[in-house]
Amino acid sequence: MIAKDSYIERKLSPIIQEKLFTGKAILLMGARQTGKTTLLKFLFSGRRDLLWLNGDDPETRLLLENVSVSRWKRLIGKQKLVIIDEAQRIKNIGLKLKLVTDELPEVQVIATGSSSFELANQINEPLTGRKWEYRIFPISFSEMVAYHGWLEEKRALPHRMVFGYYPEVIHAASNEKEILTLLTDSYLYRDVLTLEKIKKPEKLVKLLQALAYQLGQEVSYHELGQIVDLDNQTVEKYIDLLEKSYVIFRLQPLSRNLRKELKTKRKIYFYDNGVRNAVIAKLQPLELRQDKGPLWENFLLSERLKHLHYGGILANRFFWRTQDQQEIDYVEERDGFFYAYEFKWNPRKKARFSTTFTGNYPVKSAEMVTPEDFEAFLGVE
């Protein structure tokens, strides 16, 4: 347990508190080790009306195997808050949460899960209209600014770009390499391999390494399949599973108006820079690296994703490129307008925004984001 004076306040804390006892289950999903359990323990430590259940515990899974309303009542007793950690391990968890929500409206149930594909399959239909759903990511830049100040976090930026923002890594002081290695070896693929019964886990690891080396580049499932010796359908399935277990995320090409726009290739990024670097065992200091540009792009896009989600900002997210190599790193569509961004690690480089793009889309702004002026892009004023 992390001491209270070293606890980093999460953006989701007030959001979850606001939704308590509003008649719906609260779902908190995210990769293992991103702080789901720690967040809930800090929010509700000291409450005497709390029942905490752990889906990783075989006895808990057996206890809830054939649970009925009457059994729920006996189990919960006079408690008003039920937390089910790692709920994806419990069979038919959606129906079991529905029983509590429908039949025990005075009880607030919160479920956490580290694999959205399994939890979503079990929960979406039973809990339609009965849930608040949130994702938690590794610690964000803005959360660290709130914790120890802008100047301190700005100074740590080169370090974060290499080692990332997993909570245990942040608290590991000089032990980051060992923690990241343990994280990627022990936790990263656990849910994918266990729940999907993948027959060739070494192919999954090799695919992830190929994606790490192609960071910031357009990828083709066919080309990836040739690299890792898998067919296109299996590559797409593995990428989908890695995305749904919060390891990677895809950025689709924007293609609506122009014949020469790219339509089929996509870019793939990692939710955390440290995980990306650990996957390929490349954790040397930033100043010694040749991949500063891709790391900067991955950092900005993963942090922007956190900002949009925690802020409840609805946006479609793309990159844009044409067959004749005109391109824009990142495009957001919000309320019918487009916002274009170019990412440059070197602030002295110039950003050029194609008139082909600005002339064919309702562009509200076009900005370059560099280490000198990136804070507003991440929601830090």
Q: Does residue 2 surpass a pLDDT of 90? A: no
Task: In whole angstroms, give the CA distance from residue 288 to residue 157.
Answer: 15
Residue 101's pLDDT is 94
Residue 116's pLDDT is 62
**What does the domain layout of the chain look like in residue ranges?**
4-135, 141-378
User: What is the per-residue pLDDT across 78-121, written as a single tens digit (0 to 9) for each?
Assistant: 999 999 998 988 888 888 999 999 999 999 999 998 766 555 56
Q: How far is CA 291 from CA 156, 213, 279, 351, in A?
A: 18, 9, 15, 19
Predicted confidence band of residue 379 (pLDDT cuts 50, 70, 90): very high
Task: In whole angstroms, give the CA distance from residue 13 to residue 27.
Answer: 13
Residue 119's pLDDT is 59
Q: Does residue 167 surpass a pLDDT of 90? A: yes
Residue 121's pLDDT is 63
Name, of 197-211, 228-242, 276-290, the range with top average pLDDT: 276-290
Task: In whole angstroms, give the CA distance from residue 129 to residue 76.
Answer: 23
Average pLDDT (256-271) is 76
Predicted confidence band of residue 271 (pLDDT cuts 50, 70, 90): very high
Residue 323's pLDDT is 80
In the CATH scheme, what is the code of domain 4-135? 3.40.50.300
User: What is the per-residue pLDDT across 129-161, written as a single tens digit (0 to 9) for each?
Assistant: 899 999 999 999 999 999 999 999 999 999 999
Residue 322's pLDDT is 85
Residue 245's pLDDT is 84
Query: How much is the pTM?
Result: 0.92
Average pLDDT (364-377) is 96
Render the burial of 110-137: b for 16+ CB within 10 Å, e for the rest: bbbbbbbbbbbebbeebbeebbbbbbbb
